[in-house]
Amino acid sequence: MNFDRKKIKDLYRKELFDNVIPFWLKYSLDEEFGGFISQLDREGTPYGKDKSVWVQGRATWLFSKLYNHIEKNPDWLYAARLGADFIKKFAFDESGRAFFRLTQDGKPINKPWSIFSETFLIIGLAHYAKASGDELSLEQAVKTYWNLVSLLDNPEKIGSNTVYENYPVKGHAIPMIMVATTQELREIVPDDRYQPVMKKYLGEILWVHARDDVQALLENVNSDGSMIPGPEGRCVNPGHAIESAWFCLREGQKLKDKNIIKRALEILDWSLRLGWDEEYGGLFYFVDLANRPLDQLEWDMKLWWPHTEALYALLLAYELTGDEKYAQWFIKIHEWSFAHFPDKVYGEWYGYLHRDGSISHTLKGNLWKGPFHLPRALLYSYLVL
């Protein structure tokens, strides 16, 4: 395959609008209780009806984003409204914190240990507010964002299952999601107060978790930035690192900051080198820097989302640099992904493959996999092309 810009653009547009979006519109909308059902089998039939709050926020964001950036399609606005109304009614507790899992009709099941439910609700409600003009959704998004900023400055208030004084660890996931959430909210509501938040979390990604001495972005470091001994300290999640890289690339692009772009490209290069499976192709889920045993027993599985993140990251890197190596990496990951993940019979993509690319689970959605990583990557790739 050659890097044929028009051919790739047309393919990604077709995959997004003729395959992926129709699947979720047809099967996930809950007309009875609102929101989205994501526990879908291969054919799109629900195998469970509990609702992930992550999915409610992410799906609301997606359909709102499509409405705001592609066309004023009433079906997309209707889907976004189902999500936003369900979120406002059921997703938050009396203190303003979000649940992780709800029953189909919105009763709470459990809360998360961290802040990720809130971040996806923020971006969903904010972009829905732009699509619909609903000021209450925007007010809820902004209020939740600044509550998160305060909580992260006082992490003892968040709650955790870890005794911090015995294990003072910083995770990459927090700065990563805060950069992404700030970018999405800033698009809807300009505010100078975002600047120090962005600077703080962007710096943690680029200069604390990303380490030149091991040429990797580490998922976990000590609170002082030093490496943790043991498997958690050596753990690299190539998909997470690649996703973070394109968040940083977009920030560098916005600020016209060549140093940010250069550092983000280094992270992308390291993560591709570490993550690519030379024997079977595709990206590993987890990697140990010393090739020692990993705690994650699923380390060698091939999941949909690291590959979709890589596709967009590589297109953006190629757009910004013109460096042919990114076009070649894109072709390699594109060919592997499209040869293994799409379901040519029932539509959408499988999410979970064995190392050799054979199918592990036929499901199309669960409490984590919903209409987000794949359609987001297809949308952003189409737009950059």
Per-residue pLDDT of the chain (385 residues; tens, 9 = 90+): 889 999 999 999 999 999 999 999 999 999 999 999 999 999 999 999 999 999 999 999 999 999 999 999 999 999 999 999 999 999 999 999 999 999 999 999 998 778 999 999 999 999 999 999 999 999 999 999 999 999 998 876 666 666 667 777 899 999 999 999 999 999 999 999 999 999 999 999 999 999 999 999 999 999 999 999 999 999 999 999 999 999 999 999 999 999 999 999 999 999 999 999 999 999 999 999 999 999 999 999 999 999 999 999 999 999 999 999 999 999 999 999 999 999 999 999 999 999 999 999 999 999 999 999 999 999 999 999 9
Q: For the chain, what are the domain ranges?
A: 171-300
Q: May I ask the CATH class of domain 171-300?
A: mainly alpha
Helix (H, G, I), strand (E, B) or coil at 252: helix
Where b means 16+ CB within 10 Å and e means fewer, 51-72 reads: bbbbbbbbbbbbbbbbbbebee
Backbone angles phi, psi at 221, to 5 degrees: -135, 160
Q: Please state, in angstroms and rounded to a whole number, the distance separating the CA atoms of residues 48 and 96.
A: 27
The model scores a pTM over 0.85: yes
Q: Please state, in angstroms and rounded to a whole number, the distance separating the CA atoms of residues 193 and 149.
A: 11
